[in-house]
Amino acid sequence: MKFPDLEIHNFLAITDAKINLSDRGLVLLQGNNHADSSADSNGVGKSSIPEALEWCWFGETARGLAGDGVINNVAKKDCFVKSVAVDGHITYTATRYRKHKTGKNTFTLKSFDGFKETDLTKGTEKLTEEVARGIIGCSLDVFAASIYAAQEKMPDLPAMTDKNLKVIIEEASGASLLENVYRHAAKALNDAEKELVTRKATASAAQSQLDFIRSQLVNATAQVSSWDVNRGVREADIRASVTPLLPVIKKLKEDVDAIDKAAIEAKIADCDSKIGLVAEEQKGLTALDKTLADAKVYLGMYQNEVAMHSNALTRASAALAGVEHQVGCPCTSCGRPLTDRELAAAKASKQADVDTWKKAVAEAEDKVRAQEIAVNDSQRARDEFAATMTDITAVATQRAVYDKHLASYYDLVRQQTSIVNNAKNLRDQLIAVQAEANPHQKTIDTLTKQAETVEKALTEALAKVTEQEEEVALEAEVVKIYGPAGVRATILDDVTPFLNSQTAKYLTILSDGNIEATWTTLTPDAKGNLKEKFTIDVNNSLGGDNFKAISGGEKRKVRIATALALQDLVATRATKPIELWIGDEIDDALDKSGLERLMQILEEKARERGSVFVISHNELRDHIKQVMLIEKLANKTTRITEMAA
C-alpha cells in the first residue's frame, strides 16, 4: 500500500502543506524556524507529517494527540488532513476535519476503482474508522510500529511488556487474524456444542416419547385382550339366557298346535247364529224398555211438579193465615187496632194465591195418576212381550265356554310370541356383540402410527446427533489447529526466526555483531507444553547482559534494529504491506560509525520499500541526496521546499 498524496491544513505546527510520500527513495526531512529565534529547526512541523498521516486514518497521533489537541495553536480552527492511499487498482481518499467551517468534526472516506467513485462514509465516525482500519489492514499500534520510528514515541520494543509486544507481533505477523479465527472457531465450537445439546435433548425427548407410546401400546394391548375376554363373557351370558327358552318355545308351540282354533271359532259362530235369530225380538224388547223408561221419566217429572206446587200452596196458606191474624192487632204507624174491613183486600189477594196453587196441585196430581197408569201399562206390555221371547241362556253359556277356550289359545300364542321375540332379541344381541369392533384396537392403530412417526423422528434426531457430534469434533479440531499450540504456534515458530534473523542482520551492521537481540514468542512450561511469552532479550558481548544495562547509543541501535525487523515482518506477513518508513531523529545518540552503518541500512530499506524519510537535526546531506526543507516563516505559516543535496 502506498500513500502518494498527503494534504495538511492547520494541523499541529503545519499551516499548509502538500507532500508526496510514494516512491520517493531515501529523503531527508529538515527544518528551519524563522518565527522563533530560540529554535533552529524545532517546531516547524517535521514530525507533524507522519502524525498527520496517522491522525487522518486512525483519529490519533503517535504521541496520543486527538480531538482539538491537533489544531494549529495559531489558527485554532479549520483543521483538516487529506490522505490518498493506493491499494492495487483502488484509490482511497480519507479526509478528517476538526473545527472546520464546512467539514465540522467529521471523517469521510471514499474509494475509486478507475471507473466509479464510492462513498464509504458510514453513519458514525466510529463505523467509518472501522472501514478505514480494514483498508489499512492493521491497528494504529502496528501501523506506527512498522512505519514510524518516532522522535518521542519510537517503539521501545525491547522494553515492552509481554502483553504489548504480543499485540504488535501477532498483528504484524498476521497471527491476530488467526486469533480472530480462533475466537470464531471457539464460538463455532461452543455453538456446535450447544446445538449438540439441543439435538441430544430432541433425541432424548423423542426417545422418551417413544417409550411412553410403547408403554401405552402395552396397556392398550392388555385392554384389547381384556375387552375380548369381556366380550366372550357377554356372549356366554347371552347364550346362557337363550338356552332355557328353547324348550319353552317348543312346548308352547306344541300347546298352540294342539288347540283347534278353527273348530272353536266355528262353534262360536254357530252360537252367534242362534243368538242372531232372536235379534228382532230383542229389538222389540228394547223398544218396550225404552217406552217404559220414558214413562217413568215423565212420572218422575209430574211427581216433582206436585211436590213443587204443594210447597207453593203451603207458603200461600201461611201468608193468608198471617193476614187474618192481624185483625184486632194495633197499626204499626198509629197504634189503632186493625179491622177485618181494613185487611179485606190483603186477605183477598192471599186467598187468590191459595186458590191458584190448590188448582195447580190438583192438576199435577191428575197428571201423576194418569202417568202411573201409563207406567203400569208399559211395564205390563214389556213383561208380557219378554215372556213370549225365545230363551238363549244355554247358547250364551256355551258360547262363553268357547270364548274361554279361544282366549286360552290367544294367551298361549302371546306367550309364544313374547318368548320367541325375547329369543330373537337375545340372538340379535349375540350377533351385535359378535360384530362389535374392539374399541381399543383403534387406540393401538393410532399408537402404532405415532410410534412409527416418533421412531422416524428419533432416527433422524439420532442421525442429527451423530452429524452434530462429527461437527463438534471437527470444530474442536479447528479450535485445536488455530489454538496457541496449532497453526498459531507454527506461525510464531516461523515468525520468531525471521525477526531474529532480520534483527541480527541490522545489529550486525550497526554494532559489528557485538550486540544481540533475541525475540522469544513461545516458551515451554515445566510439563513441556508451549506457552506464549513475548520478550526481546538483549546482550552486549562487550558490555551489559540486558537491555537496561547497555548504553543509550546501544539502546538506540537495538530499537532501530528491532523496529526495522518488525517492519520487514509487516512487509512480508501483513495483509497489506505498507511501502513507507519514517525515522524521526533515529540518528540521535549514534556515533559517526553507527551513523554510516545506519545510512547503509536505510538506503537498502528505501530500495526495498520505495520511500524512506529521515527526520533529523543533523547534517546528513552527505548521506542523503534528496532533501525536503520545512520552514516556519515569520508569519508562522509553513513553506516546504524540495532540493537535491
Is it the case that residue 530 has pLDDT exceeding 70? no
What is the average per-residue pLDDT within 317-323?
A: 87
The predicted pLDDT at position 113 comes to 93
Rounded alpha-carbon distances, angstroms, from residue 151 to 53, 155, 479, 595: 15, 10, 42, 16
* Cβ–Cβ < 8 Å for 252, 422: no
| Pair (396, 259) in one structural domain | yes
Distant-in-sequence contacts of 235-238, Cβ < 8 A, 24+ apart: 235/430, 235/433, 235/434, 238/426, 238/429, 238/430, 238/433
| Pair (220, 298) in one structural domain | no
* Cβ–Cβ < 8 Å for 295, 302: no
The predicted pLDDT at position 588 comes to 74
Is it the case that residue 529 has pLDDT exceeding 60? yes
Rounded alpha-carbon distances, angstroms, from residue 25 to 22, 162, 193, 443: 8, 35, 55, 91
Is it the case that residue 194 has pLDDT exceeding 90? yes
Q: Which of 174-183, 213-222, 601-610 has the highest mean pLDDT?
A: 213-222
Does residue 322 lie in a domain region? Answer: yes
What is the average per-residue pLDDT within 559-578?
A: 75
| Pair (462, 371) in one structural domain | no
Which H helix or E strand runs over 33? strand 25-33
Which cell numbers hold the place of 56?
487522518
| Pair (371, 450) in one structural domain | no
How far is residue 438 CA from its own chain's centroid? 41
Does residue 562 lie in a domain region? Answer: no
Does residue 603 lie in a domain region? Answer: no
What is the average per-residue pLDDT within 381-388?
A: 86
Is it the case that residue 249 has pLDDT exceeding 70? yes
pTM over 0.85: no
DSSP string, 425-439: HHHHHHHHHHH---H
Does residue 330 lie in a domain region? Answer: yes
The predicted pLDDT at position 645 comes to 61
Q: How confident is the model at residue 556 (pLDDT cuts 50, 70, 90)?
A: confident
| Pair (305, 397) in one structural domain | yes
Does residue 325 lie in a domain region? Answer: yes
The predicted pLDDT at position 148 comes to 77
The predicted pLDDT at position 98 comes to 96
**In sequence order, what are the beta bridge partners of 504?**
none
Instruction: Tell me the average pLDDT of the chain.
Output: 87
Which H helix or E strand runs over 366? helix 344-387
Is it the case that residue 573 has pLDDT exceeding 60? no
The predicted pLDDT at position 462 comes to 94
| Pair (374, 448) in one structural domain | no
What is the average per-residue pLDDT within 366-387?
A: 91
Rounded alpha-carbon distances, angstroms, from residue 422 to 234, 244, 379, 436: 17, 12, 59, 21
What is the average per-residue pLDDT within 111-124?
A: 94
Does residue 250 lie in a domain region? Answer: no
The predicted pLDDT at position 490 comes to 67
Rounded alpha-carbon distances, angstroms, from residue 270 to 395, 398, 637: 9, 10, 162
| Pair (333, 473) in one structural domain | no
The predicted pLDDT at position 267 comes to 93
Nearest-angstrom CA–CA distance, 177 and 183: 10
What is the average per-residue pLDDT within 530-555?
A: 82
- Which of 313-327, 450-464, 474-488 is the least confident region? 474-488
As a whole-number percent, the residues of the chain with pLDDT over 70 amount to: 94
Of 149 and 625, the one with more pLDDT = 625
What is the average per-residue pLDDT within 624-641?
A: 92
What is the average per-residue pLDDT within 151-174?
A: 68
| Pair (360, 219) in one structural domain | no
Is it the case that residue 166 has pLDDT exceeding 80? no
The predicted pLDDT at position 174 comes to 62
* Cβ–Cβ < 8 Å for 12, 48: yes
Which H helix or E strand runs over 354? helix 344-387
Q: How confident is the model at residue 388 (pLDDT cuts 50, 70, 90)?
A: confident
The predicted pLDDT at position 499 comes to 87
* Cβ–Cβ < 8 Å for 539, 554: no
Burial 471-498, CB ≥16 within 10 A → b, else e: bbeebbebbebbbbebbbbebbeebbeb
Rounded alpha-carbon distances, angstroms, from residue 285 to 58, 81, 280, 293, 385: 146, 151, 9, 12, 7
**DSSP 8-state code for residue 541:** T
Does residue 578 lie in a domain region? Answer: no
Of 575 and 322, the one with more pLDDT = 322
End-to-end CA distance of the chain: 28
Is it the case that residue 178 has pLDDT exceeding 70? no
| Pair (347, 443) in one structural domain | no
Q: How confident is the model at residue 552 (pLDDT cuts 50, 70, 90)?
A: confident
How far is residue 368 CA from its own chain's centroid? 110
The predicted pLDDT at position 629 comes to 92
Of 521 and 457, the one with more pLDDT = 457
Is it the case that residue 525 has pLDDT exceeding 90? no
Does residue 19 lie in a domain region? Answer: no
The predicted pLDDT at position 199 comes to 92
Listed in order, strand segments (DSSP E) in 44-194 are 79-87, 90-98, 107-112, 117-119, 148-149
The predicted pLDDT at position 182 comes to 76
| Pair (353, 446) in one structural domain | no
Q: How confident is the model at residue 394 (pLDDT cuts 50, 70, 90)?
A: confident
**In sequence order, what are the beta bridge partners of 628?**
29, 642
Q: What are the pLDDT digits (tens) for 451-463?
A: 999 999 999 999 9
Q: How confident is the model at residue 551 (pLDDT cuts 50, 70, 90)?
A: confident
Nearest-angstrom CA–CA distance, 541 and 391: 174
Rounded alpha-carbon distances, angstroms, from residue 347 to 227, 275, 542: 108, 70, 190
Q: What are the pLDDT digits (tens) for 584-597?
A: 887 776 778 878 88
Q: How confident is the model at residue 179 (pLDDT cuts 50, 70, 90)?
A: low
Instruction: Tally the domains of the chain.
Output: 2
Is it the case that residue 575 has pLDDT exceeding 70? no
What is the average per-residue pLDDT within 123-148?
A: 86
Q: What are phi and psi for residue 638, nearest 5 degrees?
A: -105, 140
Which cell numbers hold the place of 73?
495553536
Of 586 and 625, the one with more pLDDT = 625
Burial 503-539, CB ≥16 within 10 A → b, else e: bbbbbebbbeeebbbebbbbeeeeeeebebebbbebb
Is it the case that residue 482 has pLDDT exceeding 80? no
Which has the closest alpha carbon to 599: 612, 611, 610? 612
Q: What are the pLDDT digits (tens) for 26-84?
A: 999 998 898 887 767 788 888 899 999 999 999 998 778 999 999 999 999 999 999 99
Q: Sheet harboring 25-33: ordered strands across?
A: 148-149, 581-584, 611-615, 25-33, 626-632, 638-644
Q: What are the pLDDT digits (tens) for 263-293?
A: 999 999 998 888 887 777 888 888 999 999 9
The predicted pLDDT at position 49 comes to 92
**Domain boundary residue among 481, 508, 534?**
481
Which H helix or E strand runs over 15? strand 14-19
Which has the closest alpha carbon to 610: 190, 24, 57, 185? 24
Identify the domain containing residue 449 by its residue range. 194-230+438-481
Give the Cα-Cα-Cα angle 319, 323, 329 (nearest 5 degrees). Answer: 145
Q: What is the CATH number of the domain that holds 274?
A: 1.10.287
Which has the closest alpha carbon to 519: 491, 499, 502, 494? 499
* Cβ–Cβ < 8 Å for 374, 270: no
Gyration radius of the chain over CA positions: 71
Q: How confident is the model at residue 420 (pLDDT cuts 50, 70, 90)?
A: very high
The predicted pLDDT at position 363 comes to 93
The predicted pLDDT at position 399 comes to 87
- Which of 98-107, 211-220, 246-255, 267-276 is the least confident region? 267-276
Q: Is 332 left (phi over 0), alpha (psi -120 to 50) or beta?
A: alpha
3-class secondary structure for 336-348? CECCCCCCHHHHH
How far is residue 480 CA from its own chain's centroid? 36
What is the average per-residue pLDDT within 564-575?
A: 71
| Pair (345, 442) in one structural domain | no
Q: How confident is the model at residue 320 (pLDDT cuts 50, 70, 90)?
A: confident
| Pair (334, 449) in one structural domain | no
